[in-house]
Structure 1
Amino acid sequence: MTSRKTLVAGFTALSAAALTAGMCVNAASASPLAFAKMQAQAITQATQVADTLGAGNGGIYLERGKAVLNVTDAAAQEKAKAAGFATKLVKHSFTALTSAKNQMDTVKNVPQTSWGIDTKTNQVVVKIYDSASQATKDKVAAAAAKLGDAARVEHRSGKLATYIADGDSINNGQFTCSLGFNVTKGGQPYMLTAGHCTNEGGTWSGGDVSGAQVVQSDCPGADSGLLTRPNGTGPGAINTGQKITSAASPTVGEQIEKMGQTTGGGSGQVTSVDESVNFDVGVLNHEFGTTAHTDHGDSGGPAYDGEKGLGTLSGGDTQTSYFYPLTLELQSYGLELA
């Protein structure tokens, strides 16, 4: 999570030949931008087909940049295959997984746990950290057991933590975070970062910006924070030069890039979506989990895939980094990317 001056996507019948032509990029040799475009095309096309399958839709995920459609019955499988997609026959529809995840959301006051949808395994993955109290462990495990094979429990070592620490990115003189995306509202420039950062208040500075004030701060629940940008609009790009032109929802299996003031750039893969993460500061909803490596000070930094902005970093552990979706941040605050 570097401190970034950063800114930081009717079903049409698809023939197998047309789909193959759209996926002709060799994943092993593709440039990051070409691979990102391949993933974006796969997600769009697969989602269009999945949305026509009704109860037969088990969700989609990516495997090496190519989409796989989960299906719950033979009719849905035949339709997906006719459109040129790889399929996997699964037990639970995506609607059923969402319902199971929502049942877990009724479990309150259980810090150091999380749960979200993993379409690749067709389950809700429930994570329980060894730093949780025994009462919390028992409470969450009991709730997960009621879901049967629609859920799996993973016991994790370590502790979930929101990432805010001293560093050389945007800071208020006491805490350091990372800039996620440069944005605008009504033609005025702003900076988007994590809400658990802006909750600390103060005047923020970093790079060519000084005197930035907190406009809005939402955490827990969401994890969004909006700062003024006193010196004018910043670039709609990551500090590597990668342009960010749109916001999109993440997909399990999607390869992503991240940037932060502490760990710099890097890559990872989306492992879960719509995750409820019970940090000590409270529950953060709709997060997506990734294998990207991040650390303290990276909070608020961007996750992106090519030209698509995906989210801003909330925190994590030694195995998983969680981001809050950019689409929800833009919608909630009425923002546009710079």
Structure 2
Amino acid sequence: MSGKFLPTARFLLIVSLLSSALAVTPSAGAQAEPALQTHDVPVAGGPSGEAAQRLADRLGRSHTAGIYLDRTEHRFVITATDERTAEAVENAGAIPRRVTYDTAYLDSIKKRLDTNFKTPGTMWGIDVLANRVVVRADSTVGKKDFAALKKFLAPYGSAARVIRVGGKTERTSSAINGGDYIENGVVSCSYGFTVRKKTDPTYKAILTAGHCTITSGTDWRKSDGTYIGYTTGHNFSNGNDFGLIRAYNSSVTYYGNVEAEGGTAQDISYSRDSRLYETVCASGYKSKYACNSVGLKNQTINYTDGSQVTGMDVAFICRDHGDSGGPLFAGDAALGLLSGSNNSACYSYYQPVNEALAWYGMEVF
């Protein structure tokens, strides 16, 4: 995953650790440091994540190539393709990092991949730290398909690369796993976030994965068999993976929280987009609670069953069958819903939650 550019020593260490994760599966229960709160407040004297992103947007896609969190400095890094942009970043209190390729160019490569390939077992998108588009091909991708991707990207030189990863890229729903789950008689998945309509707070629902709610079963129950509601929406097309279950049992209390460490409850009060390299946590009925970092954003995932999702966040958290729809969060912030994973490589793929909330006119609470 390392590129030709020279990040800080801390990030060289991160890259080394991530490369090792491709060969050795980390423990799903491994705990990381508590998530940084990066909304609305400055980080170690620098701009907040939102402010850093706004600055990068103002500087323009042809002058920057993404932002990420330097967890040693607790400040945001904004990449810059020229000295003038780097000076603007430094003057704003963020850390500038010079890179060769800008977002507009790298995104054009990703879009060409999206248009020309749907190779099962692959994932691709911009790797901000490496400053290139990286295609990750799992163990199911044959030599012919791997060579085709490599040939396609060859004209882009160091701006694009194809690498091998272990394991299989799979959706994580399951019809057989038991435990603390939600099921509709066809699949068992994980409860994501409790949400409510912005225009009618008394209307409550449950967000989960769209490939769970698109199945033929419409009535959902929790682990003890109690009815919790019925499918009222699903979006598993055009690269999305989110669905909605109407909370429809007055005898059930639909709390606005998620399961955290040791079975404790973490209250969720708002939603936001994840930040690259921040610490995040996940819950699911099969793999339970675990934390690690967001390693990639806006990735295209091609599952081994032939389905494709786009715009996914990738967290380095091991997930398994049955965890689909489970929440990704940081403190009291809702971030995403689990779509699938490559459990051997400890990649888990998350649908950003704000897109789902906007689609249904909902909010977390």
TM-score range, shorter chain: 0.7 to 0.9
Counterpart pick for 2:172 among 153, 159, 163: 163
* SS of structure 2 residue aligned to 1:109: coil
Counterpart pick for 1:285 among 295, 304, 310: 310
Name the CA distance, whole Å, in 2 between partners of 1:39 and 1:270: 19
Give 2:190's aligned residue: 178
Name the CA distance, whole Å, in 2 between partners of 1:126 and 1:101: 9
Give 2:321's aligned residue: 296
Give 1:189's aligned residue: 204
Counterpart pick for 2:265 among 241, 256, 268: 241
Name the CA distance, whole Å, in 2 between partners of 1:163 and 1:182: 20
Alignment of 1:130-141 (within 5 A): 130-141=139-150
1:336 aligns with 2:363: yes
Deviation at 1:252, TM superposition (A): 1.8
Give 2:335's aligned residue: 310
1:32 aligns with 2:52: no
Name the CA distance, whole Å, in 1 between partners of 2:40 and 2:158: 30
User: What is the identity, as a one-letter code, of the residue corresponding to 2:193?
Assistant: F
Deviation at 1:40, TM superposition (A): 6.8
User: What is the identity, as a one-letter code, of the residue corresponding to 2:323?
Assistant: D
Deviation at 1:38, TM superposition (A): 7.2
Alignment of 1:204-223 (within 5 A): 204-206=220-222, 210=227, 212-220=229-237, 221-223=239-241
User: What is the identity, as a one-letter code, of the residue corresponding to 2:192?
Assistant: G
> Identical aligned pairs, as a percentage?
32
Does the aligned pair in 1 maintain the 2:282–2:328 contact within 8 Å?
Answer: yes
Does the aligned pair in 2 maintain the 1:201–1:214 contact within 8 Å?
Answer: no
Name the CA distance, whole Å, in 2 between partners of 1:286 and 1:153: 19
Asked which structure has the greater RCO (Cα within 8 Å, sep 6+), the reply is 1
Name the CA distance, whole Å, in 2 between partners of 1:230 and 1:146: 55
Counterpart pick for 1:198 among 213, 220, 235: 213
Name the CA distance, whole Å, in 2 between partners of 1:123 and 1:82: 26
Deviation at 1:205, TM superposition (A): 0.7
Deviation at 1:151, TM superposition (A): 1.6
Q: TM-score, normalised by structure 1?
A: 0.85
1:56 aligns with 2:63: yes
Name the CA distance, whole Å, in 2 between partners of 1:180 and 1:67: 29
For the aligned residue pairs, the C-alpha RMSD in angstroms reads 2.2
Does the aligned pair in 1 maintain the 2:287–2:323 contact within 8 Å?
Answer: yes
Name the CA distance, whole Å, in 1 between partners of 2:96 and 2:125: 22
User: What is the identity, as a one-letter code, of the residue corresponding to 1:269?
Assistant: S
Name the CA distance, whole Å, in 2 between partners of 1:139 and 1:167: 41
Does the aligned pair in 1 maintain the 2:81–2:100 contact within 8 Å?
Answer: yes
Name the CA distance, whole Å, in 1 between partners of 2:272 and 2:155: 33
Name the CA distance, whole Å, in 1 between partners of 2:206 and 2:56: 35
Deviation at 1:281, TM superposition (A): 4.2
* SS of structure 1 residue aligned to 2:116: coil
Give 2:22's aligned residue: none
Q: Which ranges of structure 2 fall in alignment gaps of 5 or more residues? A: 1-31, 43-47
Please give the per-residue CA displacement for 1:265-296, whole angstroms capped at 9, x wherever unaligned.
11111111111100124111111111011111
1:89 aligns with 2:98: yes
Name the CA distance, whole Å, in 2 between partners of 1:211 and 1:181: 14
Deviation at 1:107, TM superposition (A): 2.0
Please give the per-residue CA displacement for 1:90-116, whole angstroms capped at 9, x wherever unaligned.
011122222221121112331111101
* SS of structure 1 residue aligned to 2:258: coil
Moved more, 299-308 or 108-117: 108-117
Alignment of 1:61-140 (within 5 A): 61-64=68-71, 65-140=74-149
Name the CA distance, whole Å, in 1 between partners of 2:53 and 2:84: 17
Give 1:256's aligned residue: 280
Does the aligned pair in 1 maintain the 2:33–2:279 contact within 8 Å?
Answer: no
The count of residues paired between Structure 1 and Structure 2 equals 308
Does the aligned pair in 1 maintain the 2:39–2:50 contact within 8 Å?
Answer: no
Does the aligned pair in 2 maintain the 1:61–1:69 contact within 8 Å?
Answer: yes
Does the aligned pair in 2 maintain the 1:39–1:254 contact within 8 Å?
Answer: no
Could you list the structure 1 runs, at least 4 aligned residues long, displaced by more than 6 angstroms after superposition: none
* SS of structure 2 residue aligned to 1:242: strand
Give 1:327's aligned residue: 354
User: What is the identity, as a one-letter code, of the residue corresponding to 1:182?
Assistant: T
Q: Which ranges of structure 1 fall in alignment gaps of 5 or more residues? A: 1-29
